[in-house]
Amino acid sequence: MKTIGIIGGGQLGLMIAEQAHLLGVRAVALDPAPDAPAFRVCDDHIVAAYNDAEALERLCRQCDAVTYEFENVPGDILIPLSEKYNIPQGYKPLYDSQDRLREKSNAREHGLQTPRFAAVDDEASLRTAVRELGLPAVLKTRTLGYDGHGQMVLKSGADIERALPLLTVPCILEEFIPFDSEASIVMVADRERVVSFPVGRNIHRDGILDLSIVPAAADPEVLERMKLQSERFMRACGYEGILAIEYFIRGREIYFNEMAPRPHNSGHYTIEGCTTNQFRELVRYLIGEPLQEPQLVAPTVMKNILGQDLEAAREVEKENREGVYVHIYGKTESRPKRKMGHITFVGMTGETYEKEWADRFVR
Ligand SMILES: Nc1ncnc2c1ncn2[C@@H]1O[C@H](COP(=O)(O)OP(=O)(O)OP(=O)(O)O)[C@@H](O)[C@H]1O
Ligand SMILES: [Mg+2]
């Protein structure tokens, strides 16, 4: 029996482990929190910090292959480990995505269009960048941002003053794209092929993903181009394993926003909405089994459940409706804006969701 290791024990680790089990594969997770959600389903676990080299080595030793769901594993630990153990995705995709400046430069070098951007380190470089890019613009910390944390939209000159406190760490200023919609794609690649999941439209609220609607209602030519350019990008960068890319769509233009070499929140719909899912294909990749091309089962909507919607989600779960799949991650502490679960509605369009379901959750 094969064993995979997961660096990180959040909901992504939990869902990787569930799919591993369905494929007859054991799973071990490492996470600093003793009550990490993935620990409940994993066959074994290690409670340790992400920079605990000895603990990470212990994880590697007991696994046939190791992956990560946590994006900020330090390179000085992961690189030596990936030379000694089987961490097939390696450090490169993490390295390329850990810093927004490097991430966007890399995307551009490999042929993807990005919003215009400039590095910002202090007030002078912020003022120069604003002159260059114009307003509105988005100021983001270069590292460690997630769910809209460490970001600020600058609309006027007065906002520059307000943004100064953010500049204690290196930042990037990006042109604000008044997009028509946001979309993302999840791909899994091995040496032979890249498989990609149907592109969904993403709706964010307060900087956090709220809904994914699949298929994305955008121009088919734009969606096809997104798929082709994403697959080409993944190959050109030499990445293997899993990669998600978030885009802005404006007219016929596609702008790369960011990428993540791990399962993606917008891909949770694939568990029930596709013939195979992002977690399962990642496990197949890790254990060296041929990848399967996913097909969409039916139009699908995924609703993220944050702390404020947890009770409503439990009610929906009790109703046991056909095509409605409630996932609660089992986090011990519920907070507003914390991702506590998600619900997948298979056989549902965005319009029907709005009409029949949206009112059940906090607006
Ligand atoms: N340049 C931009 N123009 C317009 N909107 C933007 C821009 N950058 C970010 N946003 C908005 O803010 C959201 C969050 O930004 P981004 O994806 O960069 O941050 P994040 O904190 O890493 O988010 P997450 O990890 O949740 O995906 C985007 O999905 C988009 O809605
Ligand atoms: Mg994002």
Average pLDDT for the chain: 97
- Tell how far the Cα of 314 is from the centroid of ligand 2, in angstroms: 27
- The pLDDT score that the predictor gives to residue 147 is 85
pLDDT band at 146 (very low <50, low <70, confident <90, very high): confident
Ligand minimally distant from the alpha carbon of residue 140: 1
- Tell how far the Cα of 80 is from the centroid of ligand 2, in angstroms: 29
CATH of domain 116-175: 3.30.1490.20
Kindly list the domain boundaries of the chain, sorted by start residue: 3-87, 116-175, 181-360
How far is it, in rounded angstroms, from Cα 297 to Cα 333?
A: 34
Domain 181-360 has CATH 3.30.470.20: yes
The mean pLDDT value for 31-42 works out to: 98
User: Fold for domain 3-87?
Assistant: Rossmann fold (3.40.50)
C-beta of 244 in contact with ligand 1 (< 6 A): no
pLDDT (tens digit, 9 = 90+) per residue, 151-181? 999 999 999 999 999 999 999 999 999 999 9
- Tell how far the Cα of 228 is from the centroid of ligand 2, in angstroms: 21
Cα 272 to chain center, whole Å?
A: 18
% of the chain residues with pLDDT over 90: 98
In ligand 1, the atom with minimum distance to the C-alpha of 178 is 4
pLDDT band at 91 (very low <50, low <70, confident <90, very high): very high
C-beta of 203 in contact with ligand 1 (< 6 A): no
Residue in this structure with the two tokens 């200023």, named with its chain if needed: 173
pLDDT (tens digit, 9 = 90+) per residue, 257-276? 999 999 999 999 999 999 99
- The pLDDT score that the predictor gives to residue 117 is 98
- The pLDDT score that the predictor gives to residue 233 is 98
C-beta of 172 in contact with ligand 1 (< 6 A): no
- The pLDDT score that the predictor gives to residue 145 is 85
Amino acid at 328: I
Q: Which of 133, 155, 180, 257 to mutate to test the pocket of ligand 1 (most atoms within 8 A of CB)?
A: 257
The mean pLDDT value for 241-267 works out to: 98
Q: Peptide bond preceding 215: is omega within 30 degrees of 0, i.e. cis?
A: yes
Nearest Cα to 270, choosing from 184, 171, 154?
184
C-beta of 210 in contact with ligand 1 (< 6 A): no
The residue nearest atom 7 of ligand 1, judged by CA position, is: 176
- The pLDDT score that the predictor gives to residue 148 is 82
- Tell how far the Cα of 321 is from the centroid of ligand 1, in angstroms: 33
- Tell how far the Cα of 85 is from the centroid of ligand 2, in angstroms: 31
In ligand 1, the atom with minimum distance to the C-alpha of 177 is 3
C-beta of 258 in contact with ligand 1 (< 6 A): yes
C-alpha distances in Å from residue 286, one per residue of 11, 68, 106, 242, 278: 19, 11, 25, 10, 12
CA angle centred on 335, ends 247 and 314, rounded to 5°:
90
pLDDT at 326 over 90: yes
The mean pLDDT value for 346-351 works out to: 98
Strand 151-154, strand 137-141: pairing:
antiparallel
